[in-house]
């Protein structure tokens, strides 16, 4: 059979396969890695970099690494890679701090309950959302009683025993939960027609955003007591949470203000036209739309806050980083800073990366664009 | 009477005034409550509010200073030394972060799948780890894994990397250097004027000059001529191993390097995303239109994409610079003597004046932030699209 284009009636030519080298793996490699000379050089450089990383990384992290040893010298005798023994020996502390061993089920339970309480807030489509939201509202009280104790035959635990990842979660979740309502109020205040309210909100927001968090934490640890009635002296953890709340409230206020400003003017005009009051407009028109737009921004603020909880180590609280530094101060593990800090870095990376993926997913889901 | 009150409340204008008066009363009461507490506490502790401590000798040493300092100088001078150290880290951090961030941003936009993915994972890993960890990690790597000065890593026999910091040659100006400074200034002024001139010429005639290359040559060549004319009035102090440590040269402490480097690579990850988002924000029709009128790829970038992307990129970029400056306050974790570590750290502990020192630290940071953000607002106002 002779394939000659003249033999076909116009329009009846069968589809030919695409030319070899433009589809499949070969085509993909050609298009994405070696499409031009500069591209090929870049690919080879990248491959070389990867080779160096994998070769060096594998031997240090895995092949020559030591997992089981009692101190650094015995670690070094077994292999010259990473000495993960410092992590293995103190793993419990990295999670629970110095929380008493017999009471750790309380932390586990409150963490599991946190997942249940957070589910209806994070996944709008979940079943029985209404009933679960009631539980979410009750959760802070349940968690407080569980973790702190003192009632229902639960042993009272001093907050200076709190530490590790648990402390990070406590500070992060409490601060963000408290800063949301405050942030909404500040955002509304900044958009307010009342000059004085606006001025106060702007001052608060700009002050909090203008100074580094570490100075605010110093304020909390050194001079907050001056502003309270003489004789009051309350817990450092609570002081830290208050400062973190103020700090993130300022950032959340700016995120929400962005959401409020994105609402078309027609919405307010329509609300005015049907005679809604300011608070009705805010409750039924402004906030539902503004909050929806700003959720990804709020999640990003939360990621920032969650990362910033590491700063508490500077004023003496023992979050995972603080536990790591305590381990390094021990003469047995002196000098293993790379292993310790990398481990803490990986903990933070996993949780922050998961949160940022969630934020992206939510952004896509909430988007009402048509493209 | 009650009818009148209701009427006042129902009038929007008067209601606004009433609400504001109530807010003012509550706020005033709150402030006076705070002030009362402060004065009560001060009285109880036998303290007073005074800034005289700033002028008494500080009594502590600072291992790195840009202006002369010793422990007999006042707390005020110590604070200024700290502020300058903050500025030093911020300055170099911003430069490195910008260059590295632009490079990463370009890689993130590259069509090369592998380079793109490497940049992506680098950015994700860096920005999802707290900055404090970056700083401690790099500081730990320098002081724990680099060799002692005796076995220092030798770079071309003039620079040495050790666990006590890096030692690099230090340029020393000699007589006749003034001409070099003068020529450098002339070259910069020439570059600015030439830039303006060629812009005007292009607007009038449509002809373009290779401005960038000409300026580059002038800026390099003129100072070199000055050096040759005065027979190289620069000498270098080279670090040398004497006893257990290096003498001479310029010593960069591990703290300075770790802090600058960590701040730079952390901020670079954010800058990369800002650059990428800025360039992607330009509608693809702009690029297509530019290509269809026959502009070459570099012209498309320089004349069409970048001027528009700049408007999107600059505001978040400035706030990243501000973040870098604020994050430099974490220096205290590794003992780098910045503003927080001097005034808010040792001075605070030595004088016991928490209130005064912290207020000063907060005010200084606030001034830096507010002045940079007002500068940014001015820039935004200048470059914003004019609706016609």
Hey, are the CB atoms on A226 and B42 less than 8 Å from each other? Answer: yes
Tell whether B112 is covered by a domain: yes
Residue found under tokens 């060799």: B147
Residues A264 and A167 both lie in one domain? yes
Residues A80 and A173 both lie in one domain? no
Hey, are the CB atoms on B354 and A226 less than 8 Å from each other? Answer: yes
- pLDDT of A101 reads 75
Tell whether B173 is covered by a domain: no
DSSP state of A83: B
Residue found under tokens 């509304």: A188
Which residues in chain A touch residue B145, judged by CB atoms under 8 angstroms apart?
Answer: 338
Residue found under tokens 């009477």: B1
Q: Is the pLDDT reported for residue B236 higher than 60?
A: yes
How far, in Å, CA of A196 to CA of B21, rounded? 9
What torsion, rounded to 10 degrees, do the Cα atoms B338, B344, B348, B353 define? 140
Contacts of B339 (CB under 8 A, 6+ apart): B79, B82, B83, B85, B86, B329, B361, B364, B365
Residues A68 and A209 both lie in one domain? no
The pair of three-digit structure tokens given for residue A82, joined into one six-digit string: 């990473």
Measured between CB atoms, which of B41, B128, B333 is closest to A230? B41
Half-sphere exposure of B320 (CA within 13 A, CB side): 25
Which residues in chain B touch residue A310, judged by CB atoms under 8 angstroms apart?
Answer: 130, 132-133
Tell whether B190 is covered by a domain: no
Measured between CB atoms, which of A200, A212, A311 is closest to B27? A200
What CATH number should be reported for the domain holding residue B264?
A: 1.10.3720.10
DSSP state of B330: G
DSSP B61-128: --S--SS---TTSBHHHHHHHHHHHHHHHHHHHHHHHHHHHHHHHHHHH-S-HHHHHHHHHHHHHHHT
Tell whether B82 is covered by a domain: yes
Residues A213 and A349 both lie in one domain? yes
Residues A248 and A294 both lie in one domain? yes
Please state the φ and ψ torsions of residue B98, each to the nearest 5 degrees.
-65, -50
Domain-terminating residue out of A34, A60, A85: A85
- pLDDT of B1 reads 52
Beta partners for residue B242, in sequence order: B245
Strands (E), B132-237: 153-155, 159-162, 165-168, 170-173, 234-237
What CATH number should be reported for the domain holding residue A323?
A: 1.10.3720.10
Residue B252: C-alpha distances to residues B84, B133, B336 (Å): 15, 21, 12
Hey, are the CB atoms on B130 and A222 less than 8 Å from each other? Answer: no
Give residue B3's pLDDT band: very low, low, confident or very high (50, 70, 90). Answer: low
**CA proximity to A286, closest of A276, A297, A298:** A276
Residues B80 and B122 both lie in one domain? yes
Hey, are the CB atoms on A338 and B141 less than 8 Å from each other? Answer: yes
Cβ neighbours, 10 Å, residue B342: 29
Q: Is the pLDDT reported for residue A227 higher than 60?
A: yes
Q: Is the pLDDT reported for residue B262 higher than 90?
A: yes
Tell whether A12 is covered by a domain: no
Residues A35 and A94 both lie in one domain? no
Give residue A369's pLDDT band: very low, low, confident or very high (50, 70, 90). Answer: low
- pLDDT of A6 reads 60
Which residues in chain A touch residue B344, judged by CB atoms under 8 angstroms apart?
Answer: 215, 218
Is A113 exposed, middle or buried, given 0-12, 13-18 or 19+ CB atoms closer than 10 A? middle
Kindly state the percentage of chain B with pLDDT values over 70: 98
Q: B332 to chain A: nearest residue by CA?
A: A314
Kindly state the percentage of chain A with pLDDT values over 90: 5
Instruction: Report the gap between the CA of A109 and the closest CA in chain B (Å).
Output: 27
pLDDT tens digits along A146-179: 777 777 777 777 777 787 888 888 888 888 888 9
Are A289 and A243 within 8 A, CB to CB? Answer: no
Is B126 exposed, middle or buried, given 0-12, 13-18 or 19+ CB atoms closer than 10 A? buried
Choice among A318-322, B126-130, B291-295 with the minimum mean pLDDT: A318-322
Q: B348 to chain A: nearest residue by CA?
A: A222
pLDDT tens digits along B135-187: 999 998 888 888 787 777 777 777 788 878 788 887 777 777 777 788 888 88
Segment B71-87 mean pLDDT: 86
Residues A241 and A344 both lie in one domain? yes
Residues A230 and A265 both lie in one domain? yes
Q: Is the pLDDT reported for residue A138 higher than 80?
A: no
Tell whether B17 is covered by a domain: yes
3-class DSSP state of B210: coil
How far, in Å, CA of B130 to CA of A319, rounded? 13
Taken in order A208, A209, A215, A220, is the CA torsion positive or negative?
positive
How far, in Å, CA of B351 to CA of B349, rounded? 6
Segment B100-122 mean pLDDT: 88
Give residue B268's pLDDT band: very low, low, confident or very high (50, 70, 90). Answer: very high
pLDDT tens digits along A239-255: 888 889 999 999 999 89
**Total number of domains in chain B:** 2
Segment A293-306 mean pLDDT: 86
Measured between CB atoms, which of B137, B326, B332 is closest to A314? B332
- pLDDT of B264 reads 94
pTM of the model: 0.85
How far, in Å, CA of B247 to CA of B262, rounded? 27
- pLDDT of A247 reads 92
Residues A43 and A92 both lie in one domain? no
- pLDDT of B75 reads 84
- pLDDT of B272 reads 92
Hey, are the CB atoms on B114 and A39 less than 8 Å from each other? Answer: no
How far, in Å, CA of A205 to CA of A252, rounded? 10
Contacts of A198 (CB under 8 A, 6+ apart): A189, A190, A191, A192
Domain that holds residue A349: 88-99+157-366
Instruction: Report the gap between the CA of A314 and the closest CA in chain B (Å).
Output: 6
Cα A14 from chain centre? 55
Instruction: Report the gap between the CA of B177 and the closest CA in chain A (Å).
Output: 41
How far, in Å, CA of A129 to CA of A1, rounded? 68
**Total number of domains in chain A:** 2
How far, in Å, CA of A51 to CA of A57, rounded? 10
Segment B318-334 mean pLDDT: 89
Tell whether B151 is covered by a domain: no
Radius of gyration for chain B, computed over Cα atoms and rounded to the nearest angstrom: 28
How far, in Å, CA of B279 to CA of B270, rounded? 14
Tell whether B204 is covered by a domain: no
Residues A40 and A165 both lie in one domain? no
- pLDDT of B263 reads 94
Domain that holds residue B29: 2-42
Measured between CB atoms, which of B44, B365, B370 is closest to A212? B365
Are B116 and A39 within 8 A, CB to CB? Answer: no
Residue B165, sorted as left (phi over 0), alpha (psi -120 to 50) or beta, turns out to be left
Give residue B270's pLDDT band: very low, low, confident or very high (50, 70, 90). Answer: very high
Q: Is the pLDDT reported for residue A72 higher than 80?
A: no
Measured between CB atoms, which of B114, B139, B365 is closest to A210? B365
Residues A162 and A305 both lie in one domain? yes
Residues A58 and A164 both lie in one domain? no
Measured between CB atoms, which of B115, B128, B145 is closest to A353? B128
A/B interface, count of CB pairs below 8 Å: 157
Query: What's the mean per-residue pLDDT of chain B?
Result: 84
Residues B292 and B377 both lie in one domain? yes
Are A27 and B113 within 8 A, CB to CB? Answer: no
Contacts of B20 (CB under 8 A, 6+ apart): A194, A195, A196, A197
pLDDT tens digits along A165-216: 888 888 888 888 889 899 999 998 888 888 888 888 989 998 998 889 988 8
Give yes or no for A119 touching B (CB within 8 A). Answer: no
């Amino acid at each position: 059979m002779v394939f000659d284009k003249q033999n076909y009636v116009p329009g009846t030519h069968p589809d030919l396969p695409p030319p070899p080298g433009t589809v499949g793996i070969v085509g993909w490699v050609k298009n994405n890695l070696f499409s031009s000379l500069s591209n090929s050089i870049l690919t080879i450089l990248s491959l070389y970099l990867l080779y160096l990383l994998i070769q060096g990384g594998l031997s240090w992290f895995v092949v020559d690494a030591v997992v089981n040893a009692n101190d650094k010298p015995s670690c070094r005798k077994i292999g010259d890679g990473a000495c993960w023994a410092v992590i293995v020996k103190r793993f419990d502390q990295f999670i629970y701090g110095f929380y008493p061993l017999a009471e750790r089920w309380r932390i586990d339970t409150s963490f599991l309950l946190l997942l249940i309480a957070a589910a209806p807030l994070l996944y709008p489509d979940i079943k029985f959302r209404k009933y679960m939201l009631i539980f979410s509202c009750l959760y802070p009280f349940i968690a407080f009683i569980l973790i702190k104790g003192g009632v229902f035959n639960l042993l009272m635990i001093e907050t200076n025993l709190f530490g590790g990842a648990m402390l990070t979660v406590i500070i992060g979740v409490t601060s963000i939960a408290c800063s949301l309502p405050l942030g909404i109020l500040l955002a509304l205040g900044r958009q307010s027609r009342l000059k004085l309210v606006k001025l106060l909100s702007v001052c608060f927001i700009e002050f909090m955003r203008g100074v580094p968090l570490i100075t605010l934490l110093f304020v909390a640890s050194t001079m907050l007591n001056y502003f309270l009635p003489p004789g009051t002296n309350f817990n450092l953890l609570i002081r830290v949470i208050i400062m973190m709340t103020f700090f993130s409230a300022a950032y959340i206020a700016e995120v929400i203000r962005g959401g409020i400003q994105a609402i078309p003017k027609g919405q307010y005009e329509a609300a005015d036209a049907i005679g809604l009051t300011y608070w009705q407009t805010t409750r039924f028109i402004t906030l539902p739309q503004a909050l929806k737009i700003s959720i990804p921004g709020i999640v990003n603020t939360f990621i920032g806050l969650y990362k910033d909880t590491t700063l508490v180590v500077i004023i003496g609280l023992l979050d995972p980083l603080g536990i790591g530094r305590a381990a390094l101060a021990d003469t047995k593990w002196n000098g293993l800073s790379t292993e310790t800090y990398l481990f803490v870095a990986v903990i933070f990376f996993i949780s922050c990366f998961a949160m940022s993926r969630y934020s992206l997913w939510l952004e896509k889901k909430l988007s009402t664009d048509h493209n | 009477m009650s009818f009148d009150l209701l009427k006042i409340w129902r009038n929007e204008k008067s209601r606004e005034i009433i609400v504001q008066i109530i807010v003012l009363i509550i706020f005033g009461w709150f402030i006076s409550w705070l002030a009362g507490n402060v004065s009560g506490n001060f009285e109880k502790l036998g303290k007073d509010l005074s800034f005289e401590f700033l002028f008494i000798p500080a009594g502590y040493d600072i291992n790195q200073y840009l202006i002369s300092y010793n422990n007999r100088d006042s707390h005020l001078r110590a604070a200024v030394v700290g502020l300058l150290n903050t500025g030093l880290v911020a300055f170099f951090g911003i430069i490195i972060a910008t260059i590295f961030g632009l490079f990463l941003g370009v890689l993130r936009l590259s069509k090369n799948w592998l380079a793109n993915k490497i940049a992506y994972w680098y950015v994700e890993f860096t920005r999802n780890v707290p900055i404090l960890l970056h700083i401690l990690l790099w500081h730990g790597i320098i002081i724990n894994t680099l060799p002692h000065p005796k076995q220092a890593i030798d770079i071309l026999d003039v620079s040495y990397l050790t666990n006590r910091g890096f030692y690099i040659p230090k340029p020393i100006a000699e007589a006749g250097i003034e001409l070099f400074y003068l020529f450098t200034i002339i070259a910069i002024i020439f570059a600015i004027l030439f830039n303006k001139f060629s812009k005007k010429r292009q607007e009038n005639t449509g002809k373009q000059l290779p401005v960038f290359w000409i300026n580059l040559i002038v800026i390099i060549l003129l100072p070199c001529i000055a050096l040759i004319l005065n027979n190289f009035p620069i000498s270098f102090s080279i670090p040398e191993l004497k006893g257990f440590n290096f003498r001479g040269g310029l010593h960069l402490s591990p703290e300075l390097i770790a802090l600058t480097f960590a701040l730079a690579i952390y901020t670079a990850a954010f800058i990369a995303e800002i650059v990428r988002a800025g360039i992607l924000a330009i509608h693809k029709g702009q690029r297509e239109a530019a290509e269809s009128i026959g502009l070459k790829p570099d012209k498309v970038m320089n004349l069409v994409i970048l001027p528009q992307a700049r408007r999107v990129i600059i505001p978040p970029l400035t706030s990243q610079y501000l973040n870098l400056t604020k994050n430099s306050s974490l220096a205290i974790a590794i003992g780098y003597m910045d503003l927080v570590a001097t005034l808010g750290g040792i001075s605070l502990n030595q004088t016991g004046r928490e209130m005064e020192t912290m207020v000063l630290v907060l005010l200084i940071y606030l001034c830096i932030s507010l002045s940079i953000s007002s500068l940014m607002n001015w820039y935004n106002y200048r470059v914003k699209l004019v609706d016609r």
